[in-house]
């Protein structure tokens, strides 16, 4: 099955071509929903088959001894320019298999869900074509065995993200249109990609290769200056901040909620935004060689986690809350990577993919049932109308809040523990506060949506449970959110054989871990104590949120009136968008208009062009007088010429 891994990218590509080229015809050829079903199931099955292939490759790889688990599948020679030989090859190893399972597995469920969610959309076929294209690009990103294939996927998912954010291009979104949100995502990502490209150039210059295996083996053996590693790691991390929505480039992700909800679940929560985490984790040896940058990664992750979580406290759009929650959780992943716990960060990628996809799909189910109303202040008491959605959403809330026994608990405490033992007490404290905030805003969201009085207008809204095609993926994801964490039981619970997930990924990170030389001795008692504190904090936050928003909503109002300044600051997202608008966008527009356009372009560029033209015009005005129009004078010149040539010939004889 390892050799068939190319099918996991080929099938979604074929699905994209099929639905993209023939989708409209199919939809028109069949009556009612049949056409949509055909399109939807073709789109889903390509991803589903891909998942089975990845699963087969995974089982095959597990059967191999640990040192033979990294296999390269060569496909074809992609670029051959001078000394540069780039092969289009896939690397099938523990890390790429883990990510592939997440992407194709969760991707398949979201595809199936979309059949229900996108029902009767006029561009149903276009949606599935884009989704398949996204899976194609994402699988290339994950499976590529060199930085160039990774970059191909990296740009591909960016394109799909852009296309899908602006999918409903004719709809309004907040103050603008969805196209503006799509553009914002694209442009902000471009800034990150620029850093990523610089990193790639520097890698090529330093290691003379772009293939992972060669680069990383050279990185761990060759004597290379720490400053070089630092620059490469920093550039790569800039790329990651763009794609994975970290400070300072996180502003695009909340706006990305303009896209349909399955897109938010698939691209902007479960898969694409974790590409940065994957890349950092893949290049772990480079980051481990630059301790200063590791600290930057950890601090940026931590800052993002708490800033985004605090914004999430007061947002009223159901998807906005989840978007900031995603940013915050991504911050957690970078915190883990920054303190050297790469496997913990990937573990959190996985559990987060389960419960965040579930949360988004649940939110989608609510939005679907509420006729596209997204304001949680206008929900309330939906529990009895949508029991399945409520139950799965409730499980996801428990999981993300880190309630013991669910997946989120294991991955989050793994990260917090590593932050404490490798980073320090402050890292742990901020992380734990973030976890508390997370628990609070999730249960605020849950209470406002499903509990309390019904605040919607019964004449306009008729809440209803979503069809089975939507609720079954929810149930599967809820199951995964519960049990997903047990493959990564921390040592303190698992006993002898330790953390299975960490053990599985260990060969990938072994060089980086040896270089970092950390993991000081800490007692299990300490770990349990910290765990107990963070769980207690989360549980009290849950209790507080339920109590306030379920039973005494007026308290929330009182508190927000009391701290009006802080409340407005959070409600307006720390005015980051406004600051960027005033500090970056406006100056660039002003400079472009006043200087680059009116002065540089009009005066300088046009001056050169027009100057050359008028120079030619003037000088030819003088020279043309030579043409008298009298044939005899031409003949004279011709004769003189012939005479000179003859003279020269005679002399040279």
Partner 1 sequence: MSTIPIEYYLILSAFMFCVGVAGVLLRRNAIVVFMCIELMLNSANLTLVTFSSYLGNSIGQVFVFFVMTVAAAEAAVGLAIIIAIFRNKKTVNIDEINIFKW
DSSP 459-499: TT----PPPHHHHHHHHHHHHHHHHGGGGG--HHHH-TT--
Taking the least distance from each CB to partner 1, the nearer of 565 and 621 is 621
Question: Containing H/E element for 80?
Answer: strand 71-81
Taking the least distance from each CB to partner 1, the nearer of 31 and 629 is 629
Token code pair at residue 144? 């590529």
Tell me the window of 92-100, 438-446, 478-486, 635-643 that interacts with partner 1 (CB under 8 A): 635-643
Taking the least distance from each CB to partner 1, the nearer of 34 and 645 is 645
Q: Is residue 65 near partner 1 by the rule CB under 8 A?
A: no
Taking the least distance from each CB to partner 1, the nearer of 555 and 635 is 635
Taking the least distance from each CB to partner 1, the nearer of 608 and 642 is 642
Q: Which one of 221, 453, 561, 632 is in contact with partner 1 (CB under 8 A)?
A: 632
Taking the least distance from each CB to partner 1, the nearer of 631 and 653 is 631
Tell me the window of 46-54, 291-299, 502-510, 632-640 that interacts with partner 1 (CB under 8 A): 632-640
Question: Containing H/E element for 73?
Answer: strand 71-81
Q: Is residue 635 near partner 1 by the rule CB under 8 A?
A: yes
Whether the CB-CB separation of 381 and 454 falls below 8 Å is answered with yes
State in angstroms the smallest separation of the CB of 633 from partner 1.
9
Q: State yes or no: cis peptide before 420, omega within 30 of 0.
A: no
Whether the CB-CB separation of 335 and 427 falls below 8 Å is answered with yes
Token code pair at residue 533? 């504190």
Write the CA distances from 578 to 186, 262, 637, integer angstroms: 19, 29, 75
Distance CA 482, CA 98 (A): 18
Q: Is residue 627 near partner 1 by the rule CB under 8 A?
A: yes
DSSP 151-196: HHHHHHHHHHHHHHHTSSTTSEETTEEHHHHHHHHHHHHHHHHHHH
State in angstroms the smallest separation of the CB of 151 from partner 1.
58
Distance CA 411, CA 401 (A): 11
Whether the CB-CB separation of 266 and 473 falls below 8 Å is answered with no
Tell me the window of 64-72, 444-452, 579-587, 620-628 that interacts with partner 1 (CB under 8 A): 620-628
Token code pair at residue 512? 């980086």
Sort 80 into a burial class: Cβ within 10 Å, 0-12 / 13-18 / 19+: exposed
Tell me the window of 357-365, 401-409, 553-561, 633-641 that interacts with partner 1 (CB under 8 A): 633-641
Taking the least distance from each CB to partner 1, the nearer of 59 and 636 is 636
Q: Is residue 628 near partner 1 by the rule CB under 8 A?
A: yes
Token code pair at residue 631? 């044939």
State in angstroms the smallest separation of the CB of 627 from partner 1.
5
Tell me the window of 195-203, 328-336, 416-424, 624-632 that interacts with partner 1 (CB under 8 A): 624-632
Tell me the window of 14-22, 324-332, 525-533, 634-642 that interacts with partner 1 (CB under 8 A): 634-642
Q: Which one of 636, 644, 646, 647 is in contact with partner 1 (CB under 8 A)?
A: 636
Helix segments in 484-552, DSSP class H: 491-494, 500-516, 524-546
Q: Which one of 521, 525, 622, 630 is in contact with partner 1 (CB under 8 A)?
A: 630
Interface mask toward partner 1 for 410-449; x: CB under 8 A? ----------------------------------------
Q: Give the interface size with partner 1 as a residue count (CB under 8 A).
A: 10
Q: Which one of 608, 639, 645, 647 is in contact with partner 1 (CB under 8 A)?
A: 639
Token code pair at residue 470? 């939507």
Taking the least distance from each CB to partner 1, the nearer of 292 and 636 is 636
- Chain centre to alpha carbon of residue 388: 29
Positions 351 through 370 that interact with partner 1 (CB under 8 A)? none
Distance CA 354, CA 407 (A): 9
Taking the least distance from each CB to partner 1, the nearer of 510 and 635 is 635
Taking the least distance from each CB to partner 1, the nearer of 34 and 639 is 639
Token code pair at residue 456? 């919607």
Q: Is residue 650 near partner 1 by the rule CB under 8 A?
A: no
State in angstroms the smallest separation of the CB of 652 from partner 1.
22
Q: Is residue 629 near partner 1 by the rule CB under 8 A?
A: yes
CB neighbour list of residue 379: distance below 8 Å, 6 or more residues apart: 318, 366, 370, 373, 448, 449, 450, 455, 456
Tell me the window of 394-402, 474-482, 574-582, 625-633 that interacts with partner 1 (CB under 8 A): 625-633
DSSP 83-134: TEEEEEEEEESHHHHHHHHHHHHHHHHHHHHHHHHTTT-TTHHHHHHHHHHH
Taking the least distance from each CB to partner 1, the nearer of 585 and 645 is 645
State in angstroms the smallest separation of the CB of 610 from partner 1.
23
Taking the least distance from each CB to partner 1, the nearer of 83 and 629 is 629
State in angstroms the smallest separation of the CB of 614 from partner 1.
18
- Name the site residues for partner 1 (rule: CB under 8 A): 624, 627-632, 635-636, 639
């Amino acid at each position: 099955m390892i050799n068939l891994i190319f099918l996991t990218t080929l099938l979604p590509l074929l699905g994209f071509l099929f639905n993209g080229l023939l989708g409209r015809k199919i939809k028109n050829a069949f009556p009612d929903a049949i056409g949509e079903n055909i399109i939807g199931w073709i789109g889903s099955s390509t991803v589903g088959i891909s998942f089975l292939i990845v699963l087969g490759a995974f089982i095959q790889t597990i059967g191999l001894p640990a040192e033979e688990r990294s296999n390269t599948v060569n496909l074809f020679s992609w670029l051959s320019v001078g000394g540069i030989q780039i092969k289009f090859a896939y690397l099938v190893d523990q890390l790429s298999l883990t990510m592939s399972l997440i992407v194709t597995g969760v991707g398949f469920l979201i595809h199936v869900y979309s059949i229900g969610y996108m029902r009767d959309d006029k561009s149903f076929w276009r949606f599935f074509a884009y989704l398949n294209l996204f899976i194609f690009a994402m699988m290339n990103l994950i499976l590529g065995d060199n930085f160039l294939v990774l970059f191909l996927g990296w740009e591909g998912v960016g394109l799909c993200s852009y296309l899908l954010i602006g999918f409903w291009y004719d709809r309004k979104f907040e103050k603008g249109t969805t196209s503006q949100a799509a553009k914002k995502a694209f442009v902000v990502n471009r800034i990150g990609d620029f850093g990523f490209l610089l990193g790639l150039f520097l890698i090529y210059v330093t290691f003379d290769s772009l293939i992972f295996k060669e680069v990383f083996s050279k990185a761990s053996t060759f004597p290379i200056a720490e400053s070089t590693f630092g620059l490469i790691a920093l550039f790569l991390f800039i790329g990651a901040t763009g794609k994975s929505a970290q400070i300072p480039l996180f502003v695009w992700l909340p706006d990305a909620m303009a896209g349909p909800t399955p897109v938010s679940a698939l691209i902007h929560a479960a898969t694409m935004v974790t590409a940065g985490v994957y890349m950092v984790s893949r290049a772990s040896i480079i980051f481990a060689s630059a301790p200063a940058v590791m600290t930057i990664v950890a601090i940026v992750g931590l800052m993002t986690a708490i800033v985004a979580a605090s914004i999430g406290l007061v947002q009223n759009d159901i998807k906005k809350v989840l978007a900031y929650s995603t940013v915050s959780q991504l911050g957690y992943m970078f915190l883990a990577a920054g303190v050297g716990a790469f496997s913990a960060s990937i573990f959190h990628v996985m559990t987060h993919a389960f419960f965040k996809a579930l949360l988004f799909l649940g939110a989608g189910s609510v939005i679907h049932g509420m006729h596209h109303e997204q304001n949680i202040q206008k929900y309330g008491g939906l529990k009895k109308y949508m029991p399945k959605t409520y139950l799965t959403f409730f499980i996801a809330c428990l999981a993300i809040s880190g309630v013991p026994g669910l997946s989120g608990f294991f991955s989050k405490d793994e990260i917090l523990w590593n932050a404490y033992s490798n980073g320090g007490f402050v890292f742990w404290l901020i992380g734990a506060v973030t976890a508390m905030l997370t628990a609070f805003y999730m249960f605020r969201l849950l209470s406002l949506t499903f509990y309390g009085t019904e605040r919607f207008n019964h004449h306009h809204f008729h809440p209803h449970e979503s069809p089975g095609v939507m609720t079954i993926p929810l149930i599967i994801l809820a199951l995964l959110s519960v049990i997903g964490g047990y493959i990564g039981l921390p040592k303190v619970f698992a006993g002898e054989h330790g953390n299975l997930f960490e053990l599985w990924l260990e060969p990938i990170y072994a060089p980086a871990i040896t270089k970092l030389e950390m993991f000081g001795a800490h007692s299990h008692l300490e770990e349990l104590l910290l765990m107990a504190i963070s769980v207690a904090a989360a549980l009290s936050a849950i209790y507080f949120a339920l109590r306030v928003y379920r039973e005494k909503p007026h308290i929330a109002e009182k508190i927000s009136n009391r701290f009006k300044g802080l409340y407005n600051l959070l409600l307006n997202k720390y005015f980051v968008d406004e600051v960027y608008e005033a500090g970056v966008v406006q100056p660039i527009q002003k400079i472009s208009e006043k200087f680059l356009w009116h002065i540089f372009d009009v005066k300088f560029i046009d001056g050169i062009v027009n100057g050359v033209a008028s120079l030619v015009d003037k000088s030819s005005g003088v020279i043309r007088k030579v043409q008298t129009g009298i044939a005899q004078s031409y003949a004279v010149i011709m004769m003189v010429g012939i005479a000179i040539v003859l003279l020269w010939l005679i002399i040279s004889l």
